[in-house]
Structure 1
Amino acid sequence: MGGSGGDGHFDERGEASGGLPVEIAFLSRHGVAPSGLALVAQRAGRNGTEPARELLALGLINEDGFYRAFAAELDLPFHAGDFDLVSGGDYGAILRGGIAPVTGDATPSLRFILAPEGPALRRMLEAGPRQRNDIAVVTPRRFGEALRRANAATLAIRAANLDTAGLARDSARTGTSRGQRITAAIAAAGTATGGVFAPLETFFSVALLLGPVFLGLILLRLAAAIERPAPDLWRQQRWRVDDSRLPVYTVAVPLYREEAVLRQMLRALSALDYPALGSKLTR
């Protein structure tokens, strides 16, 4: 395979000449200790994770520093300002590829924004664009935010299953299935045959089959009409409810690299007015 610039060379397994994975080996030329990179490679191999993700999780470098080094490795500008991506396309494929065109409104000199992860990061380091002023690098977090912002309406429709695929999957507009049609045809043929050769017996057989169904529907309607609505004890006897009888709820709030909002989140959790709500902070 081709080189990544500088003195790095890659073998067929996607490893640099020093035995480190391609996606982190270049960092040794940008201030990260090779011993730390070797530890990351060992942990990634043992855990079956992406080396770059393992590197960020260990805190040897933050996301901003990683992609600044990535931009320097490819001799591309790192873009810290505002940008807007062009809407449309396959959202998942664009996110996995880590490259998308920009609108040019806020950044007229740029054509594409680059923020690859995983296999896309490896491919870019091995044979990606270099020394281009119309392609800039950003962090995946900002790339994902811009991509969701550009496709907000489409993603909302898809999340609500109101797109074409969702409507076809969740509605009966596509018609009956093959098995349903076969079952209905067999039932109709059997009823017609019985009606010709034994009409009286067929009539009573159908009545016996459908009778319990109609009886169940009648009883259900009667039960719904007779049953009293459940009393709203909270409104009627709000201050008589013993706190010990309230259900206990567990609120799980996973955190990952969200130190900036930690204090705000703790204040919000502490403000919850519920007697049976306990708190436990784990790492």
Structure 2
Amino acid sequence: MHRGSNASGEGWLLRYRWSPEGYEEPLPPEIAFLAAHGVTIPQLIKAKRYALLWGVTPSEALLALGFMDEEAFYRALAAETGIPLLPADIAVSPSAPYDLGIRAGIVALQPNRRHLAFAIAPRGSAVQELLLRGPKLARQGVALVSPRRLAERVMAASADRIAQRAANELPDEDPALSARDGATKAQVISLATAVGAASFMATLAPDTMQQVVIGVISLVFLAMITVRLACCLERVPIRQRRKPALAPDDEERGDEHLPVYTIIVPLFRETRVLRQIVGALQALDYPAAKLDIKLVLEEDDAPMRAAVRAMEMPNFIEVLIAPVGQPRTKPRALNVALPLARGEFVVVYDAEDVPDRDQLRLAVATFARMPRSVVCLQARLVIDNLKDGLLATLFAIEYMALFDVINPGLASYGLPLPLGGTSNHFRTQVLRDIKGWDAWNVTEDADLGVRLACRGYDVADLPSATLEEAPMQLGAWMRQRARWMKGWMQVCVTHSRMPLTTARALGGAGSLGVLTMAFGTVATALGYPLFAALAVIAMTRLVLNGGAVPVSSMADAGFAALALVVFAAGFVSMLLPPVIGIARRGPWRLMLYVPLLPFYYVLVSVASWRGLAGLVTSPFTWNKTEHGLSARRRSLQITGSSEDLSPRRPVRV
């Protein structure tokens, strides 16, 4: 073994005689010095080889493999270079851009007695350069700190600015695109005028007014029915038929072509599923050194913070603390993490999610094949606790209809998609350009889908599953669905402020898609009991009259025919997507529950009316859904232990 001892690290263990044949394998100085700090020679050699396989630096590979704790690595780096570690009593400057400072790994310090001007947290190639320039930097007032500690210090110093940006960056730049300010005066006046005019006309000519209302509503319903039935005609696979690849020589090149991928997981009162989500993230088939995973916790969520501290997190998982602020919503937490994302792509997962192991690889390969206008991929959300009662079963069928039939169909026609709240994969820069999520919309995914469409971007389907947990109790289900519908109403309010501008931005097909996706969803949910009752009454009258429709004029005949067409087509469009979804994903026994869906949609309507009441009384209240309650989730043996950090779990070898 040949070794050196200069402070720059040059010459340290450049070659090591390790095989019986006497073969000498060179070790890069970037990690070679760690042999004196507890890392074994076989671990250093393994880190070097994985660095070549993944296309990263040796230090990134070593940390990702878990051969050394991040804090220990930077202590060793400080000892090797002579650069002091950042003392706990020296504060970072709160005036510098916090996001750029954290991503670049350098921030200014407040004036101090030790004359330290900057704190640095080098990553990747910057570590090798630091080893070469260490002694010089040590004389220039530079202190060393780990990236994790740097983020903690900077976010604590800039808490107020971070909270303000996360909540208000979008509405401050363009208030018309945010739900923060509610309905405009023009919208309120227009609605009041329409209601007043309709009431006045109803007193003068009730039959005519009834026909006008039924005609307008029927047109909206027919548009929605047409879109749903058209989606049923598209044949889409449940899973990718072939192994995802970017080029024919991918297997020879290894994984160096893969970009850094950011994963954001907001966690609020989710101690039950913490180990499960950490284990699921570690199990992803993606180079660990190219994972940038951020768990976002709320500052005042003491049980969650204690649970995270009690776990030994891998080096590629970072914990961010969202400063206290309003509104207390999931999109605000996502906006805290977005500016710090290092990945070319970013995906959002919920606390209870278990995504397919190859989902990130498939997303990268899909983005590579798609035009640049495709900026988001929506994976399939699949309920895995459908045996936990009737409500969970019907919820699972509803998800099959949406994510295995409707969404893939909309994507194939180039229409806007109602994004799910999880497993959305984005091009990071585009998401930053449109200012992330609207923190004031409680169904932020639906709003984001419309905003992307208005900017001319496309969303594509990703045939990869993410397992989710359905609420099992009616109360929990009702609170969750009321929040969803309240958010859809916020979408309708937000994007009808300037209807002509929105229509021009969306185009004809896009306007039809948003009309059916947003306004159609709200209208059908709110009016479902009334329309169902009218349909039953009409059918009863038809039976009692021996199949003849009692009409007094041609207009009555036309409206009766329209009502029957809407009823029949609507019934088919309600049940056909679930049937196709079950046929595609299974199990077939779920077909027995399809006849219960009309009764299930009565509950959806009740939740919608509760959402409408909430829109008036508490528009930004987030009804929290608890996870980890199902028997299946409690039995999952995903521990997230440190033993799971071996390369066979996060990477393909």
Q: TM-score range by the shorter chain?
A: 0.5 to 0.7
Q: Secondary structure at the match of 1:113?
A: strand
Specify which of 610, 623, 637 is matched with residue 281 of structure 1: 637
For the 8 Å contact 1:77–1:133, the answer to whether it is kept is no
For 1:254 and 1:272, the matched residues in 2 are separated by 15
With over 3 angstroms needed to count, the CA separation of the structure-2 counterparts of 1:274 and 1:64, relative to structure 1, is closer
The aligned counterpart of 1:117 is 123
For 1:45 and 1:170, the matched residues in 2 are separated by 49
Shift of 1:149: 1.7
With over 3 angstroms needed to count, the CA separation of the structure-2 counterparts of 1:48 and 1:133, relative to structure 1, is closer
- Is 2:78 the partner of 1:71? yes
Shift of 1:54: 2.4
For 1:217 and 1:21, the matched residues in 2 are separated by 76
For the 8 Å contact 1:76–1:133, the answer to whether it is kept is no
Give runs of aligned pairs for residues 188-267 of structure 1, distance below 5 A.
219-220=216-217, 252-254=276-278, 260-262=309-311
The aligned counterpart of 1:20 is 27
CA displacement 1:84-139 (0-9 Å, x = unmatched)? 2112334343223322221136x654322222112332332233444438322222
The aligned counterpart of 1:139 is 146
- Is 2:156 the partner of 1:149? yes
- Note the residue ranges of structure 1 that are not aligned, 5 or more in a row: 11-15, 173-214, 224-249, 264-268
- Note the residue ranges of structure 2 that are not aligned, 5 or more in a row: 1-5, 16-25, 179-211, 221-271, 283-306, 313-351, 353-625, 639-643, 645-653
CA displacement 1:123-171 (0-9 Å, x = unmatched)? 322334444383222222111111112222333333335269x725974
Q: Secondary structure at the match of 2:72?
A: helix
For the 8 Å contact 2:9–2:132, the answer to whether it is kept is no
Shift of 1:37: 1.0
Q: Secondary structure at the match of 2:633?
A: coil
The aligned counterpart of 1:8 is 10
Aligned letter for 2:125? P
For the 8 Å contact 1:84–1:103, the answer to whether it is kept is yes
With over 3 angstroms needed to count, the CA separation of the structure-2 counterparts of 1:86 and 1:167, relative to structure 1, is same
For 2:61 and 2:9, the matched residues in 1 are separated by 24
The aligned counterpart of 2:132 is 126
For the 8 Å contact 1:157–1:163, the answer to whether it is kept is no
With over 3 angstroms needed to count, the CA separation of the structure-2 counterparts of 1:118 and 1:168, relative to structure 1, is farther
For 2:214 and 2:78, the matched residues in 1 are separated by 69
Normalized per residue, which structure has more strand?
Answer: 2
- Is 2:90 the partner of 1:83? yes
For 2:33 and 2:106, the matched residues in 1 are separated by 20
The aligned counterpart of 2:106 is 99
For 1:127 and 1:169, the matched residues in 2 are separated by 48
Q: Secondary structure at the match of 2:143?
A: strand
Equivalent residue pairs, number = 201
For the 8 Å contact 1:87–1:147, the answer to whether it is kept is yes
Q: Secondary structure at the match of 1:136?
A: strand
Q: Secondary structure at the match of 2:34?
A: helix
For 2:50 and 2:87, the matched residues in 1 are separated by 31
For 2:46 and 2:32, the matched residues in 1 are separated by 12
Q: Secondary structure at the match of 2:278?
A: coil
For the 8 Å contact 1:97–1:120, the answer to whether it is kept is no
For the 8 Å contact 1:104–1:110, the answer to whether it is kept is yes
With over 3 angstroms needed to count, the CA separation of the structure-2 counterparts of 1:20 and 1:96, relative to structure 1, is farther
- Is 2:57 the partner of 1:57? no
For 2:8 and 2:81, the matched residues in 1 are separated by 10
Aligned letter for 1:111? A
For 2:36 and 2:629, the matched residues in 1 are separated by 54
RMSD: 4.4
Specify which of 44, 48, 54 is matched with residue 37 of structure 1: 44
Shift of 1:75: 0.8
Larger Rg: 1
Q: Secondary structure at the match of 1:96?
A: helix
For 2:73 and 2:143, the matched residues in 1 are separated by 14
With over 3 angstroms needed to count, the CA separation of the structure-2 counterparts of 1:84 and 1:35, relative to structure 1, is same
Shift of 1:220: 4.1
